[in-house]
Amino acid sequence: MKPLSGVRIVAVEQFGAAPYGSMFLADLGAEVIKIENSATSGDPARYTGPYHLGRADSEYFQTWNSNKHSVMLDLRSEAGRATLLRLAASADALVNNLRGDLPAALGLDYANLSRVNPAIVCLHISAYGRDNERASWPGYDYLMQAESGMMALTGEPDGPPSRIGAPSMIDHVTGLTGTVGLLAALLSAKTTGQGCDVDTCLFDVALHQLGYTAIWQLNEGHNFERQPRSSHFSVAPVQTFPTADGWVFIMCMTDKFWHALTSGIDAASLESDPRFATATSRMTHRAELTGELDRIFRQRPSAHWLSVLRGRLPIAPVLTVDQALANPFVQATGMVNQVGHPERADFRMLANPLKINGERPVQHACAALGADTAQYAAQYADTLAAPAREPQ
């Protein structure tokens, strides 16, 4: 099932944020026409390595671009802008993640595109937004983690501020945030015939991820600091624990799970200790509690504790990336796909995390650089001469 079948998206995008969001649209059946800059040999991600797939492709690029078509245009040229208008006239939406001052200059906003398609939705994903003093500033994921306060909360208390270990997390969340806005606006445009601009930016999304740490600071003046062993800010025990051969992460977010922990590890003395009797006292005496639990968990390997505690309380092994991908559970749930590629038949990708009617979307590698340019140029040559589409 492809719930977005028949939806056409033009995507003027590169690197991570917009490509990640539009990839979800493509995986769910939308026709995503990726516009790549012919003046700069396409999306720079195609050349980001070290692992390449032919002359103008890479595993880095394919990470965010499954199921997309590739069209090469120079949007600063008259011919490129004319072709883009023809594409936009027949599209449901246009997505871009350009610098905030560029969409209007290149005619990618609703004010310009509504002249040829009043129902089009224009999603703008920028670094800092299009309506403020930073509109012309370039920006990337890690800068947002730094300025939002996120890095100050990440890492060990005695270490330097750190970014989130997994790459591109703010890019990804921003791409998905923009996609939510786009889909909401598309629902409206389908019934009213009236499109709009939808905006989000890396900085706003990064700040929004602070969640309750921001709410507590704004309302109570509570200043958060980095916590040892990735501990929760206000609940214990919620952190990593060393085992005889590795680490596990345990989350006793409720009294129910605390009781399950003490019984599972046969620690009646901790259960009866007044220092650990309540959630508040456990937090007050977290250092002492950590010491007691460390002593117990170090006595056995991770596999033992997982076999004893899994299903009784939230617990997980702390794995390396190679261990995580080799996890039998990952294989059983189909989260790795062999999609193939012209340069590598056994090319694999992470599957889309959505399921529709119990099935994950089918994935294909993104088209080669500019592979669909001639097809789309011919297909939409007469679009501007056709009447505007009626609302559906």
- pLDDT tens for 89-100 read 999 999 999 999
pLDDT at 384 over 60: no
pLDDT in the model for residue 385: 40
Which residues contact residue 104 at a Cβ distance below 8 angstroms, ignoring those fewer than 6 apart? 111, 112, 130
Band the pLDDT of 380: cuts 50, 70, 90: low
- pLDDT tens for 305-332 read 999 999 999 999 999 999 999 999 999 9
| DSSP codes, 75-120 | TTSHHHHHHHHHHHHT-SEEEE---TTHHHHTT-SHHHHTTT-TT-
Q: Domains, the chain, ranges and CATH?
A: 8-208+333-385 (3.40.50.10540), 229-242+247-317 (3.30.1540.10)
Question: What is the mean pLDDT of the segment spanning 257-276?
Answer: 96
The amino acid present at 100, given as its one-letter code, is G
116 close to 191: Cβ distance less than 8 angstroms:
no
